[in-house]
């Protein structure tokens, strides 16, 4: 099933990490409280859930395409269904999609209120590189020169 071209909002509100399961989510709008909602797609592009908040949507996508813990070395076995807030909730980090990464239980528990840069500088650098690539995609999609 072909995937329809992304709208500007879908590009802007996509997860900075442009790989499955993060890119199985498509921004669909906000609910009455202003929470961003995402549709969840499978690997063929078929929609499997029309809308969910970012945290639930990423959990569903991880069930479709399990991913490595963002903090673990690459060869580590795939983690259970945990997500971590890049900016901790204790520091006003929200359940926005861009603020969530998949984490193994050990890393999710050990990071707690620490920032990604304080706790895992290498993972923080990788996240910043993904964010830079995301901004480049948004600028390109909107014909904004960088």
Instruction: Give the angle subtended at the CA of 39 by the CAs of 141 and 134, to the nearest 5°.
Output: 30
Token pair for 143 = 């014909």
Return the closest-CA partner of residue 38 out of 30, 20, 24, 26: 26
Nearer to Zn ion, 27 or 71 (CB): 71
Note whether 60 and 53 are within 8 A (CB): no
Candidate residues 17, 61, 69, 130; the one interacting with Zn ion per rule CB under 5 A: 69
For the chain, give the number of residues.
146
Candidate residues 57, 58, 72, 123; the one interacting with Zn ion per rule CB under 5 A: 72
* 101 binds Zn ion, rule: CB under 5 A: no
Note whether 1 and 19 are within 8 A (CB): no
Nearer to Zn ion, 10 or 110 (CB): 110
Q: Binding string, 9-48, against Zn ion, x = CB under 5 A?
A: ----------------------------------------
Q: Which residues bind Zn ion (CB under 5 A)?
A: 69, 71-72, 104, 107
């Amino acid at each position: 099933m072909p995937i329809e071209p992304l709208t500007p909002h879908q590009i802007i509100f996509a997860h900075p990490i442009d790989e499955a399961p993060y890119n199985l989510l498509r921004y669909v709008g906000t609910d009455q409280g202003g929470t961003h909602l995402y549709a969840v797609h499978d690997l063929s592009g078929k929609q499997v859930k029309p809308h969910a908040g970012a945290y639930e949507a990423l959990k569903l996508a991880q069930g479709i395409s399990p991913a490595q813990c963002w903090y673990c070395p690459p060869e580590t076995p795939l983690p259970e269904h945990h997500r971590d807030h890049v900016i901790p909730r204790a520091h006003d980090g929200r359940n926005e999609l861009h603020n969530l990464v998949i984490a193994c239980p050990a890393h999710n528990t050990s990071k707690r209120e620490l920032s990604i840069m304080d706790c895992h500088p290498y993972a923080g650098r990788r996240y910043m590189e993904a964010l830079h690539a995301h901004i480049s995609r948004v600028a390109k999609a909107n014909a904004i020169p960088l």
